[in-house]
Amino acid sequence: MMNIKITGSGSYIPANRIANAHFKDHLFLDESGSPFPQPASVIEKFKAITGIEERRYADKNQVASDLAFLAGQRAIEDAAIDPETLDYISVAHNYGDVPYGKIQSDTVPSLATRVKKKLMIRNPKCVAYDLLFGCPGWNEGVLHAHAFIKSGMAKRCLVIGAETLSRVVDPYDRDSMIYADGAGAVVVEATPEDRGLLSFESATYALEESEYLNFGSSYHHQHDVDVRFIKMKGRKIYEFALSKVPLAMQACLQKAAIDISSVKKVLIHQANEKMDEAILIRFYALYNMQPPSDIMPMSIHNLGNSSVATIPTLYDMIAHGELGNHKFQEGDIILFASVGAGMNINAFTYRI
C-alpha cells in the first residue's frame, strides 16, 4: 500500500536575536489601556510561563515568502531532487507577506506561487497554493500531501510553514513577546515501505472557540482603531489545548495500533513551554503514566513562537543533529501535534 515519507527537510531561522532584555523599558498596557507598573516583573513572569528567553525576527528587507523560499530550497537540496519533479508546493501561513513598517498584508499572488517563482520551476503542473489553518497549518499541509499521494494525484510534494509574526503584533501588548519569525519545510514523497505517516486526527472547533485568536485593536486607545493586530485569549486557549490535544494524540495511537511506550519523540507546536508540558502530562495521564524526561524536544526558549514554522524547524534541527542530544533513529515512532487559530487541532503519527 502506498504511503508517504519525508525525504528531505530544511529551515530558515533568522539571525536577528531579540532577547527579553529588549523589552525591559517597554510600555505594556492591559486591555483597559492601563500600564503595567513594573516592566521588569512582567518580563520575569513572562519567561517563567512561556520559557522564552529570546526570539528571532526577519531582516527588514524580508517577508514571509522569502523565508519560505529559503527553507524550501534547503529541503529540496537535502532530498537531492529536481524541483521540476514536484507536483505540489503548499505554503502554510496566516498573515501573508507583510513588509516591514507596513500594515497591509500581500497575498496575491499566493506565497506558494512566489516560492515557486524563486525556485525557478517552469513545470506548470507543479501546483502552488497557500494553506491558512492557524498554527497547525504545516501539519495540515503534510496531511494534504498524504491525501494527494494516496489518491494518485501526486508523487512528490514540498510542504512549507512560514510566518513573520513580528510584523502583526501590538507593541503595547505583553503577548507580543511570544511571537517570532521563521520557516521550515519538508519534501514528502510516495513510498511503498511500511513507514512514514501511519495515522492522523484533524478538527476545527468554531461555534464558541473561533475568537480565541483573532485580529483586534491596539491596547493603546489613542492608536488608530482601524489598524489591527494579533490578539489571543490566553487562558481560553490553554484550557482548550489541554482538553483537546491529548485526546487527538491518543486517537492517533489508537488508529495506528501503537503502544505509547513505542513513541520516541513528541513534537508539539512551540506555543508556550508550560502549556506544552501540561499537554504532555495530560496525554500520558490517559495511560496512567508519567512522560519520559527526554520525550519532548523544545526550541521555544531561543526561537520563540513562529506559528506554522515551529514544528518543521524543530523536525529539521533534530534531523540534522542541531538540537542537543535529540536525534531520530530509523524505525522511531514520532508523534506530531498542534493547536491554533480556528480553533484547529491536529496530530499524526510517523515512523522514521
pLDDT tens-digit readout, 31-47: 888 888 776 778 888 99
Percent of the chain topping pLDDT 90? 87
Mean pLDDT, range 234-248, rounded to an integer: 96
CA 180, CA 195: separation in Å to the nearest integer?
Answer: 33
Give me the chain's average pLDDT, please: 95
Strands 229-232 and 213-216 come out as: antiparallel
Q: Distance of CA 64 to CAs 4, 97, 188, 233, 251, Å?
A: 27, 5, 21, 25, 33
Q: What pLDDT is attached to residue 227?
A: 87
Q: What pLDDT is attached to residue 7?
A: 97
Q: Distance of CA 44 to CAs 36, 49, 73, Å?
A: 13, 9, 38
Asked whether the predicted pLDDT for residue 275 surpasses 90, the reply is yes
Q: Which helix (H) or strand (E) holds 113?
A: helix 111-118
C-alpha cell at 216: 483586534
Domains in the chain and their CATH numbers? 3-193 (3.40.47.10), 198-351 (3.40.47.10)
Least confident of 74-88, 163-177, 196-210, 220-234: 220-234
Q: What pLDDT is attached to residue 259?
A: 97
CA 47, CA 323: separation in Å to the nearest integer?
Answer: 20
Asked whether the predicted pLDDT for residue 233 surpasses 70, the reply is yes
pLDDT tens-digit readout, 113-149: 999 999 999 999 999 999 999 999 999 999 999 999 9
- Which pTM was predicted? 0.96
Number of other residues whose CB lies within 10 A of the CB of residue 32: 7
pLDDT tens-digit readout, 242-251: 999 999 999 9
Q: What pLDDT is attached to residue 2?
A: 75
Percent of the chain topping pLDDT 70? 99
Q: What pLDDT is attached to residue 39?
A: 65
Spell out the residues 6+ positions from residue 210 whose beta carbon is closer than 8 angstroms to its own. 342, 343
Q: In what order do the strands lie in the sheet with 263-268?
A: 196-204, 344-351, 333-340, 263-268
Q: Distance of CA 196 to CAs 19, 26, 56, 119, 136, Å?
A: 37, 46, 31, 26, 19
Mean pLDDT, range 21-33, rounded to an integer: 88
Asked whether the predicted pLDDT for residue 261 surpasses 90, the reply is yes
Strands 344-351 and 333-340 come out as: antiparallel
Spell out the residues 6+ positions from residue 107 whose beta carbon is closer than 8 angstroms to its own. 96, 97, 130
- 134: closest CA among 209, 27, 219, 224? 209
Q: What pLDDT is attached to residue 193?
A: 79
Q: What pLDDT is attached to residue 222?
A: 83
Q: What pLDDT is attached to residue 17?
A: 97
pLDDT tens-digit readout, 86-118: 999 999 999 999 999 998 899 999 999 999 999
**pLDDT class of 1 with cuts at 50, 70, 90:** low
